[in-house]
Amino acid sequence: MKSKFVRVLLAVAVTLTFSALAQTGSAATPRPAASAASPAASSPATTATGGNKVGTISIQDAIFASNEGRRDMEALQKKLEPKQADLKAQNDELEALKKQLNTQGDKLNEEAAANLKKQIEGKQKTFDRSYQDFQEDVGNQQQEIATRILQKMAPMIVKYSQENGYTIIVDTSKPWPQSPVLWWNQELVDITKQVIDAYNVQSGVPAPAASGAAAKPVVPKAPATGAGTAPKPTTPK
């Protein structure tokens, strides 16, 4: 799910949107500072190397910490609760049968033991298939949310970068070595908060009342003792 999510975000949201904007905005002269009217007017102090101004942004944080991202992820988590409860029920039933086989197997006749094992195998296959489908469904829905938000956020990142004289913006959603960025001074060069604040103003979506914390990608919960492993949260990088 992770690799699929990453590929789609990069190929669809970033590449297409950013390349199109770069072509239309390449002739424009970047301004050294944003205008007073711009919602992202406050630029963090940055370092320049060889005349190039470099900034960083966590695309994942920008998406999921925005009001829209938090709202949509909270809605997704709520939507997934019935399916998670169903999977837990399937797993509890499967574990009960396994426990029965372990504790009573030597007391059962050959036919009864064989039937119990066959029942466990069938329910295990059904559970594994349901859990895999659930993982894929979660990944697809997270992908849809993140791609939709990033397609609207990407022009704002480009605009902010041009207005503040950045030569390059590097995504730091993943830590090194998954990312080529080994270290950066977040206080000096990171523009994630500026982009989030500007996007919240543009989207007009109020902050969710349920929680003040940033939303995180949904992680399908693995059963406590059953088969199947929950995937890690996906990072758009």
pLDDT value, residue 198 = 95
The residue type of 204 is G
pLDDT value, residue 93 = 95
* Site of tokens 């711009």: 38
pLDDT value, residue 50 = 56
How is the chain split into domains, by residue range? Answer: 2-203
pLDDT value, residue 176 = 83
Residue-level pLDDT, tens digit, the chain, 237 residues: 433 433 333 333 343 333 333 333 333 333 333 333 344 444 444 444 556 889 999 999 999 999 999 999 999 999 999 999 999 999 999 999 999 988 887 888 889 889 999 999 999 999 999 999 999 999 999 999 999 999 999 999 999 999 999 999 999 888 888 877 887 777 778 999 999 999 999 999 999 886 555 455 454 444 444 443 333 334 443
Read out DSSP for 24-36? HHTTSPPPSS--T
Give the integer Cα–Cα distance in Å for 101 and 234: 38
> pTM of the prediction?
0.65
Residues near 44 by Cβ (< 8 Å), separated by ≥ 6? Answer: 55, 187, 188, 189, 190, 191, 194
How many CB atoms are located within 10 Å of the residue 177 CB?
8
pLDDT value, residue 41 = 40
* Site of tokens 């944080």: 61
Give the integer Cα–Cα distance in Å for 133 and 125: 12
3-class state of residue 8 by DSSP = helix
Give the integer Cα–Cα distance in Å for 204 and 225: 44
How many CB atoms are located within 10 Å of the residue 41 CB?
15
Structure tokens, 212: 């003040």
Partners of 52 in beta bridges = 49
Q: Is the peptide bond prior to 177 cis by the omega test (within 30 degrees of 0)?
A: yes
pLDDT value, residue 121 = 96
| Residue whose C-alpha is closest to residue 217's, from 196, 237, 197, 189 | 237
pLDDT value, residue 210 = 64
Q: CA–CA distance from 129 to each of 77, 90, 132, 189, 228 (Å)?
A: 21, 12, 5, 45, 10
